[in-house]
Chain A
């Protein structure tokens, strides 16, 4: 047995044992099943493979090389299958995730897009549609008719203006839905009346929304800062209260 062979055997063996050892530490220390599976897969793919290659180098006969290659092929085929099956089974059985998990792609999200209508809103719709596509969630376009401004009008004029405003709002929502359909995203729309920020908050609570997309306030140049501050004052509180992510699109 040559020195090179011996050194190579020792190095491969130590590498394999090292990975097996680290995987065992991971299995004990990591906080949830899915993370532990991540550690456990290292034992077969890196740990056992290292030891097998050490055996291959040490013996070097035809018989051993054939066996080792076959076992390696077998391991690399079966390890992902086994991990997939046990992970799927755990997910189906509802094994809990680590509470600090930040990304969960299998969850269905509800995205509410508050729209004002008008040419600037198209970018806002596009952002909401993009998010819905990315996360595979339910998309709802919400338009709130601001009825607070109508209180000064008489009964007859008020009803007339309200009818006009409703027709406009419905047109706005129809165009938003058409835009979503054009991008291949299913969406629905909702028309509410009342004070805008309150109605949005109530709707977000009602559908238990995960993401709220609103348009950047368009104001006179030089006053954007003020308008943005007002927006955050109105809707920023929702982030904590309703656990909704606020997305301000431009």
Chain B
């Protein structure tokens, strides 16, 4: 079981790095927003893996908070960028 959790953490860590590559490369602001949204989902996944690893169900609340924040920030960015299209 431990090696499965280690593998999961490693996989999600690499996924985080890959998302971050897209955040840096862009090329448009929308690309960065999509990558950041994906980043927040991956962080939420990490919280889930930590809940199992430490046997603490309280990490589920972290997952909820991160997922919520990710959605709200995506919607906010989408509105903000769209506003920029027609001033």
- Contact call A51/B4, Cβ cutoff below 8 A: no
- Contact call A27/B34, Cβ cutoff below 8 A: yes
- Contact call A9/B74, Cβ cutoff below 8 A: no
The docked-state distance in angstroms from the alpha carbon of A47 to that of B40 is 12
- By a CB distance below 8 angstroms, the chain A residues around B81 are 89-90, 93
- By a CB distance below 8 angstroms, the chain A residues around B52 are 9, 13, 54-55, 58
The docked-state distance in angstroms from the alpha carbon of A64 to that of B59 is 11
The docked-state distance in angstroms from the alpha carbon of A64 to that of B85 is 43
- By a CB distance below 8 angstroms, the chain B residues around A55 are 48, 51-52, 57, 60
Across the interface, name the chain A residue whose C-beta is closest to B17. A24
Digitize A39-64: 1 where CB-to-B-CB distance is under 8 Å, 0 elsewhere: 01001100110011011001101011
- Contact call B8/A14, Cβ cutoff below 8 A: yes
- By a CB distance below 8 angstroms, the chain B residues around A23 are 15, 38
The docked-state distance in angstroms from the alpha carbon of A128 to that of B71 is 44
Please give the distance in Å from A84's CB to the nearest CB on chain B: 9
The docked-state distance in angstroms from the alpha carbon of A64 to that of B45 is 15
- Contact call B42/A43, Cβ cutoff below 8 A: yes
Q: A13-B52, A17-B45, A27-B18 are in contact. Are A33 and B67 (CB under 8 A)?
A: no
A185 within 8 A of B: no
- By a CB distance below 8 angstroms, the chain B residues around A248 are none
- By a CB distance below 8 angstroms, the chain A residues around B57 are 55, 59, 61, 63-64, 67
The docked-state distance in angstroms from the alpha carbon of A59 to that of B52 is 8
Digitize B19-62: 1 where CB-to-A-CB distance is under 8 Å, 0 elsewhere: 10110000010110111011001101100110110000100110
29 contacts between A and B (CB under 8 A): A10-B1, A10-B4, A13-B8, A16-B48, A17-B7, A17-B11, A24-B16, A27-B34, A33-B28, A36-B31, A36-B34, A40-B35, A43-B42, A44-B67, A48-B67, A51-B45, A59-B51, A61-B57, A68-B60, A74-B64, A78-B71, A81-B75, A82-B78, A85-B75, A85-B78, A86-B30, A88-B82, A92-B85, A93-B84
| Residues on B facing A (Cβ under 8 Å) | 1, 4-5, 7-8, 11-12, 14-16, 18-19, 21-22, 28, 30-31, 33-35, 37-38, 41-42, 44-45, 48-49, 51-52, 57, 60-61, 63-64, 67-68, 71, 74-75, 77-79, 81-82, 84-86
| Residues on A facing B (Cβ under 8 Å) | 6, 9-10, 13-14, 16-18, 20-21, 23-25, 27-28, 33, 36-37, 40, 43-44, 47-48, 51-52, 54-55, 58-59, 61, 63-64, 67-68, 71, 74-75, 78-79, 81-82, 85-86, 88-90, 92-95
